[in-house]
């Protein structure tokens, strides 16, 4: 009897043991894009205008540049695309799931005289919840700004980091017959000339805290440093020491600048206060030191020097003044720009008769080439979120401004044909 | 005579500059070294490792018991044993025909003097010759075709030309659908995540999910989170989207699924 009981106990014990789970490892997502449905914005009362088209165009271009999305074909949209759906309860998520999208953008607009109101929403189709929503109030004509702003919000909702679409690009163009300073939107639209020096303007940089640009100009024959308030247009000469006053770059808090000064002799790197006074000399060498760029924490500066024979990238610690060489490959490395994330330094290198853009980590590791197409690429500058690079391309005797992702993909031309456009600079977030 | 030659050699040595032989030797060595250096033989040549080529079957479902998919896939020892050359040894009894039967033929050769056998022999010889010629032509044609095929494959320049469909470590027959691989592929297809959403790629999350025999999802739980909300959210979305496998499993059971980005890190 005891034996039978023991066997029964053993049987019941084994039958109650859970079956071993099957272990599966998935080491990459099936797709590296988010399937997104971008519906056309609908009028909230009143008749339809071209405002929806303007918003639509900008959103499509921005989201495409981000490289984050796979936009669903509008021809496949079902009836919910014709519904306003500004509240999650009024969205038929089943329809969107059927299309295989993970997120849907819906929106509406209302025009009252000159006043424009735009409501925009981003929904998660799987969890059926609102990811982000905004109500924009502006004037008719603000559609582009509103769309750029909502594209930034979409990026924030899906990556945790704001997009750079509602920012500006400064650049130098010869469209007026002289090298003048211009401003445009990040998709190359609405170019605006800011200077009329009828001389040579070079190397702009945005103030991170004010809507202000610094640049070098030969207006008074000497390459002096100027600052200009963008909206008031007021301009002031900022550093006019004999010789070079170039390559001005603001520290990330806007409290100091780094510049190249030659003071009539050899060019070296200096720290200036916002009032133009010299705070510190960072390099003291017979070699030519130019093109400084701040690290995001403001402790180090990357610059170009020919102190070892050929132009190479060096990094100087602004406290200890210790200089370390960063690049060892190539015979001509120039124009470094430190990523706002601190992860990369972009620079140009002459390879096979043309300059191409490279990235290197601040510790000298991970150096790799980003551009391979024909033409010389110069002056790479990071976007404020560190996701994109803007640069100038010299191809077939025409210089144009281009933008690409920092993995070298998504390259596109921004500036319109018909002028030589160089020296791009990316603003901070445009409030 | 030898004295004469020795004397002449001595005279020549006196005529030539001292150390000329050494110089000539040095020049010879230099002439030898310079072309070697220029040819690049001495340069360290790093053989780039052969890039592994995988045949990815995008049409059929992942197979159960996959077969070998690489030309360099190591065959199993069992298979080798089967191909032991023992049967060849059995085929050898050709020898007796050579040794034993040829001798009587030599002995019987005298009657060859008769005319009739000559004609038949000539006929058979001619027939045999014609056959051999035809065989040779056929072989030549075959060789030509083989050479053309080899040239065509070489022209393609692809290492995967001869790679059979299968997997690098596969040894099976490739018949049937692998249930585990099906579930893995199905959930992977539902997992959508962009590199641009993440600050780093060393993230990992683990999910336990139960599927019924009919392939319907039961309870699931996130056992381990990566700490990145976007990564974790994408994993959750993938699991939610995998409610129904659309495939019948042999048994109901629990799956421990680890999500990471190892493949992206390796790029």
Report the CATH number that the domain containing residue A77 is assigned in CATH.
3.40.50.10070
In a domain, residue B63? The reply is no
In a domain, residue B251? The reply is yes
Shared domain check, A92 and A178: no
For A137, the domain range is 34-159
The reported pLDDT for the residue numbered B112 is 47
- Interface probe, candidates A20, A23, A30, chain B, greatest B C-beta count within 10 A: A30
In a domain, residue B146? The reply is yes
The reported pLDDT for the residue numbered B173 is 67
Write the pLDDT tens digit of every residue in A242-291.
Answer: 999 999 999 999 999 999 999 868 899 999 999 999 999 999 999 999 99
Shared domain check, A246 and A192: yes
Query: Phi-psi bin for B215: left (phi > 0), alpha (psi -120 to 50), beta?
Result: left
Percent of chain A with pLDDT over 70: 95
For B222, the domain range is 179-266
In a domain, residue B221? The reply is yes
Percent of chain A with pLDDT over 90: 86
In a domain, residue A11? The reply is no
> Which of these three, A116, A133, A159, is where a domain ends?
A159
Strand partners, A43: A109
In a domain, residue A22? The reply is no
Chain B: closest CA distance from residue A412 (Å): 18
Question: What is the Cα–Cα distance from B234 to A99, expressed in whole angstroms?
Answer: 18
Higher pLDDT: A389 or B200? It is A389
> Which of these three, A159, A176, A211, is where a domain ends?
A159
In a domain, residue B167? The reply is no
In a domain, residue A24? The reply is no
C-alpha torsion A243→A246→A251→A257, nearest 10: 20
Chain A: closest CA distance from residue B189 (Å): 4
In a domain, residue B187? The reply is yes
The reported pLDDT for the residue numbered B23 is 85
pLDDT bucket at B84, cuts 50 / 70 / 90:
very low
CATH number, residue A416: 2.120.10.30
Shared domain check, B184 and B142: no
Order of all β-strands in the sheet with A235-239: A201-206, A212-217, A224-229, A235-239
In a domain, residue B104? The reply is no
Domain count, chain B: 3
Spell out which residues of chain A touch residue B220, defining contact as CB-CB under 8 Å.
none
How many residues would you count in chain B?
267
**A·B CB contacts under 8 A:** 97
In a domain, residue A431? The reply is no
Nearest to B259 among A26, A34, A67 (CB): A26
Shared domain check, A190 and A45: no
Instruction: For residue A406, give the nearest of B3, B249, B110, B195 by alpha carbon.
Output: B195
Shared domain check, A218 and A98: no
Domain count, chain A: 2
In a domain, residue A20? The reply is no
Query: Phi-psi bin for A269: left (phi > 0), alpha (psi -120 to 50), beta?
Result: beta
The reported pLDDT for the residue numbered A310 is 93
Q: Is pLDDT of B46 > 70?
A: no
In a domain, residue A5? The reply is no
Burial degree of B158 (CB within 10 A; 0-12, 13-18, 19+) = exposed
Judge whether A31 is closer than 8 Å to chain B, CB to CB: yes
Chain B: closest CA distance from residue A20 (Å): 8
Burial degree of A216 (CB within 10 A; 0-12, 13-18, 19+) = buried
Nearest to B191 among A30, A68, A159 (CB): A30
Judge whether A376 is closer than 8 Å to chain B, CB to CB: no
A183 backbone dihedrals φ, ψ, rounded to 5°: -135, 140
Shared domain check, A182 and A59: no
Structure tokens at A400: 């144009």
The reported pLDDT for the residue numbered B20 is 79
Q: Is the ipTM of this complex over 0.85?
A: no
Contact criterion met (CB below 8 Å) for A345 and A361? yes
pTM of the predicted model, to two decimals?
A: 0.73
Determine whether the interchain pair A160/B196 forms a contact, defined as Cβ–Cβ distance below 8 Å.
no
- What letter would DSSP give residue B216? B
Q: B225 in helix, strand or coil?
A: coil
Shared domain check, A360 and A319: yes
CATH number, residue B232: 3.30.1150.10
Contact criterion met (CB below 8 Å) for A262 and A244? yes
In a domain, residue A331? The reply is yes
Shared domain check, A406 and A282: yes
Spell out which residues of chain B touch residue A28, defining contact as CB-CB under 8 Å.
188, 261-264
Question: What is the Cα–Cα distance from A277 to A259, expressed in whole angstroms?
Answer: 11
Shared domain check, A136 and A174: no
Shared domain check, A155 and A134: yes
In a domain, residue B60? The reply is no
Contact criterion met (CB below 8 Å) for A304 and A336? yes
Q: Which of A274-288, B145-159, B160-174 has the highest mean pLDDT?
A: A274-288
């Amino acid at each position: 009897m005891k034996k039978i009981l023991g066997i029964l106990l053993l049987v019941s014990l084994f039958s109650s043991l859970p079956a071993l789970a099957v272990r599966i490892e998935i080491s990459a997502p099936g797709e590296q894009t988010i399937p997104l449905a971008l519906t056309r914005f609908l009028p909230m009362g009143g008749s339809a205008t071209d405002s929806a088209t303007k918003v639509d165009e900008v959103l499509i271009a921005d989201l495409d540049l981000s490289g984050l999305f796979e936009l669903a074909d509008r021809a496949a949209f079902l009836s919910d695309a014709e519904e306003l759906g500004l509240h999650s309860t009024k969205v038929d998520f089943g329809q969107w799931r059927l299309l295989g999208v993970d997120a849907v953008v819906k929106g509406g607009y209302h025009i009252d005289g000159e006043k424009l109101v735009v409501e925009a929403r981003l929904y998660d189709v799987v969890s059926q919840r609102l990811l982000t929503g905004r109500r924009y109030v502006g004037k008719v004509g603000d559609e582009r700004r509103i769309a750029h702003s909502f594209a930034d919000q979409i990026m924030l909702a899906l990556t945790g980091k704001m997009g750079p679409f509602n920012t500006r690009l400064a650049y130098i163009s010869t469209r007026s017959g002289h090298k003048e300073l211009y401003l445009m939107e990040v998709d190359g639209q609405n170019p605006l000339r800011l200077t009329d020096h009828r001389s040579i303007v070079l190397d702009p940089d945005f103030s991170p805290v004010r809507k202000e640009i610094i640049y070098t100009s030969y207006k008074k024959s000497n390459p002096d440093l100027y600052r200009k308030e963008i909206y008031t247009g007021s301009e002031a000469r900022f550093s006019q020491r004999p010789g070079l006053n170039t390559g001005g770059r603001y520290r990330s808090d806007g409290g100091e600048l780094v510049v190249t000064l030659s003071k009539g002799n050899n060019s070296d790197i200096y720290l200036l206060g916002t009032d133009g006074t010299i705070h510190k000399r960072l390099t003291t060498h017979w070699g030519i030191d130019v093109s400084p760029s701040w690290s995001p924490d403001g402790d180090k500066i990357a610059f170009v020097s020919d102190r070892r024979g050929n132009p190479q990238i060096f990094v100087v610690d602004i406290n200890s003044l210790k200089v370390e060489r960063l690049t060892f490959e190539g015979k001509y490395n120039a124009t470094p720009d430190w990523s706002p994330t601190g992860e990369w330094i972009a620079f140009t290198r002459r390879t096979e008769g043309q300059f191409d853009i490279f990235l290197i980590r601040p510790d000298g590791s991970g150096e790799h080439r980003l551009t391979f197409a024909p033409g010389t690429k110069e002056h790479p500058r990071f976007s404020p979120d560190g996701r994109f690079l803007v640069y100038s391309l010299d191809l077939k005797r025409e210089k144009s401004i281009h933008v690409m992702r920092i993995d070298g993909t998504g390259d596109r031309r921004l500036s319109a044909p018909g002028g030589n456009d160089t020296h791009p600079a990316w603003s901070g977030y445009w409030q | 005579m030898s004295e004469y030659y020795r004397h002449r050699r001595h005279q020549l040595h006196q005529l030539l500059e001292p150390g000329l032989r050494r110089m000539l030797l040095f020049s010879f060595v230099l002439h030898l070294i310079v072309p070697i250096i220029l040819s690049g033989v001495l340069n360290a040549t790093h053989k780039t490792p052969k890039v592994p080529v995988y045949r990815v079957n995008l049409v059929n479902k992942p197979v159960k018991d996959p077969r070998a998919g690489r030309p360099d896939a190591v065959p199993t020892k069992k298979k080798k044993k089967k191909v032991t050359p023992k049967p060849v040894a059995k085929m050898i009894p050709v020898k007796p025909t050579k040794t034993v039967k040829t001798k009587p033929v030599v002995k019987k050769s005298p009657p060859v003097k008769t005319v009739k056998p000559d004609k038949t022999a000539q006929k058979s010889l001619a027939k045999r010759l014609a056959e051999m010629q035809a065989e040779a032509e056929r072989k030549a044609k075959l060789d030509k075709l083989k050479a053309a095929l080899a040239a065509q494959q070489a022209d393609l320049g692809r290492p995967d030309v001869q790679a059979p469909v299968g997997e690098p470590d596969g040894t099976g027959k490739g018949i049937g659908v692998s249930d585990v691989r099906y579930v893995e592929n199905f959930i992977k297809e539902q997992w959508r995540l962009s590199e641009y959403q993440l600050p780093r790629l060393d993230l990992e999350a683990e999910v336990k999910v139960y599927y019924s025999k009919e392939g319907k999802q039961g309870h699931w739980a996130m056992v381990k989170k990566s700490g990145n909300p976007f990564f974790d959210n994408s994993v959750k979305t993938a699991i939610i989207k995998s409610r129904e496998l659309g495939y019948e499993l042999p048994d109901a059971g629990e799956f421990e699924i680890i999500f990471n980005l190892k493949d992206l890190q390796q790029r």
